[in-house]
Structure formats: C-alpha cells, structure tokens
Amino acid sequence: MAADITAVFLNSNDFAESHTIDGQANILCIIDDKSSPNQIDGVYVVRRQLFVNQETLGYRPIPGQKMNIDNEYFYIVDCIGEGLLEVILETRRS
C-alpha cells in the first residue's frame, strides 16, 4: 500500500510538492490551504490540511503537538488515517 500512496497520490508529477517538515527536507506531500477570512481583534486563523505518507514522515502526529512546515509553526488539530495521513493544522496570524 505504501508504494501505491507514493506512486498515485503523492506523485510529484501530479499533486504532491516537496516540503521541509520538522527539519526533514524533501518530503512529498499535499498541503491544502483552508484559511479563514474571519478576523477577531486583527487575528485570523490559518487552517491547512496536510496529506503525507506516515512512513516517510517517520511518526504519527499527535493533536496539540507543534509541527514546523517550511519554517512556519502550526499546531496539530487532528490526524486521520493509516499509511496516508490527513493532518489538520492550525495557526494564527495578525
């Protein structure tokens, strides 16, 4: 199944892009931006979905944990799936 994840879904010729995650360079993944336009007191929420192969990442993210993606920190809100993980990330910006 891991070969299918890389060959089909996380293929750099189709959807996936290379990112640095927690210091590991060149991890193929898909990041979908779900930023919220709602601002409260000048702060808005940036929410992203990260699709990544757990085997490549080397661990299963835990809600509440910080994750560094391309030198930007996010908090893990949720982690769904086995093999191919869907990680819901959130940060706040002003």
Give the domain extent around 77: 2-93
Number of domains within the chain: 1
pLDDT tens, 55-81?
999 999 999 999 999 999 999 999 999
Q: Rounded mean pLDDT of the chain? A: 87
For the chain, the three-class secondary structure string (H helix, E strand, C coil) is: CHHHHHHHHCCCCCCCEEEEECCEEEEEEEEEECCCCCEECCEEEEEEEEEEEHHHHCCCCCCCCEEEECCEEEEEEEEECCCEEEEEEEEEEC
1 versus 78: the higher-pLDDT residue is 78
The domain that contains 31 carries what CATH number?
2.40.10
So what's the pLDDT on residue 36? 65
